[in-house]
Amino acid sequence: MSNPVETQWVQLINQKLSRTLEIDPDIELRLVCGTDQAGRPMFCSISSLKPGIPDLSDAVDVTRTQRSIDGHWVLLLTLRTAKFTDVFVQLCGHIVDRVSESSSEAQGLAAFMAGVEDWRTLLKAPPSQRLSLDAARGLFGELWLGFLNLVPGCSVRHVMEAWHGPFQGDQDFQFPGGPLIEVKTVHSRARRIQISSENQLNRLPDEQLFVCVVAADDAMAETPGALTIPALLDQTDRLLQDAGVSQSELADRLAELGFDRSDDAYADMHFLPTGVRYLEVTASFPRIVPSALPAGVSRVSYSLDLADLSPFECDHSQLGLPIAELKVSSNEP
């Protein structure tokens, strides 16, 4: 950000002071930076035109609101993960530089979006090389639920055989003769979950289907209880070895996802699991199923508000999982 406001902004961030700063009153699109009530870095545009919503990672909250006082639109970016502060400030500085060259508010909004896309294009890795943050969070949730929560009540062999998520199964875990389990991994403050197709919450009349909502927040390495995907995989390896299950079962699934265990980036990606909600998909559960769609309509995605799903909550014991066999040891006299 080629602007003296940047220095003041960084000071506000470091001191966690709640304050806003006008970046440059002479540019066509009004831009404001500062910190919110929680001391988190924030950056926004204020315009008479309705802006688009840029696609950023889970590390940044993106909200668009219309002010009642004058009808102007506010596009607000708020950093959620403190370790990315320097990167966030640089991104916002790049946006300011792009917007400064605009000759109208409309061009300024377009430049705002283009500035974000510049960084996305620069940092985006091919899917075969590295998972996105959302995909990594999803893998973390499936591993954490399956191999730290379903095991040891259910055998690790049963869990591994049921894990169909990496193979694009309609549900992440499909136990033969047992429940279907779809895992949704979200931030602890998330208000909704995303359903990716009309088949994801579809079940036969004699099947039990559950949605397990895992809360996993971005965390620092020193955060108590924080884990990485490699750490979860190490624990899973030990469980498989103790149970006599081939390591190739896990390797096949990671290969299907394009996950490279040797990539150091995953060792720096920490998640803090804070809990899980079990929801039973009964006949009255809000959902879209194939039989409800007109002919020719498919691949329907939609979101569900978590606040409306409380009536369907259940306990882990109600999942109806295959019970792990107890190992009986005998001591010869």
Distance CA 243, CA 121 (A): 44
- Asked if 102 and 140 sit in the same domain, the reply is no
CATH assignment at residue 77? 3.30.1460
- Asked if 93 and 213 sit in the same domain, the reply is no
Domain-embedded: residue 128: no
| pTM (whole model) above 0.75 | no
Give the count of domains, the chain.
Answer: 2
Model confidence at 17, in pLDDT bands (50, 70, 90)? confident
- Asked if 143 and 215 sit in the same domain, the reply is yes
9 CB contacts (<8 Å, ≥6 apart)?
1, 21, 33, 34, 41, 89
- Asked if 48 and 174 sit in the same domain, the reply is no
Is 331's pLDDT higher than 80? no
- Asked if 186 and 266 sit in the same domain, the reply is yes
pLDDT at 38: 85
Domain-embedded: residue 161: yes
Out of 71, 105, 123, a domain closes at 123
- Asked if 99 and 146 sit in the same domain, the reply is no
Model confidence at 126, in pLDDT bands (50, 70, 90)? low
- Asked if 61 and 23 sit in the same domain, the reply is yes
Domain-embedded: residue 324: no
- Asked if 142 and 194 sit in the same domain, the reply is yes
Model confidence at 236, in pLDDT bands (50, 70, 90)? very high
- Asked if 187 and 81 sit in the same domain, the reply is no
For residue range 78-121, list pLDDT tens digits in order.
998 888 888 888 899 889 999 998 899 989 998 898 888 888 77
Domain-embedded: residue 300: yes
Domain-embedded: residue 265: yes
- Asked if 218 and 268 sit in the same domain, the reply is yes
Angle subtended by helix axes 85-100 and 105-123, to nearest 10: 140
Closest listed residue to residue 182, CA positions, set 319, 290, 3, 70: 319
Domain-embedded: residue 331: no
- Asked if 42 and 160 sit in the same domain, the reply is no
Model confidence at 225, in pLDDT bands (50, 70, 90)? very high
Domain-embedded: residue 325: no
pLDDT at 332: 43
Domain that holds residue 96: 5-123
Domain-embedded: residue 238: yes
For residue range 303-321, list pLDDT tens digits in order.
999 999 999 999 999 999 9
Order across the sheet with 209-219: list the strands: 173-174, 180-186, 209-219, 270-280, 313-314
- Asked if 148 and 90 sit in the same domain, the reply is no
For residue range 197-209, list pLDDT tens digits in order.
999 999 988 999 9
Is 329's pLDDT higher than 50? no
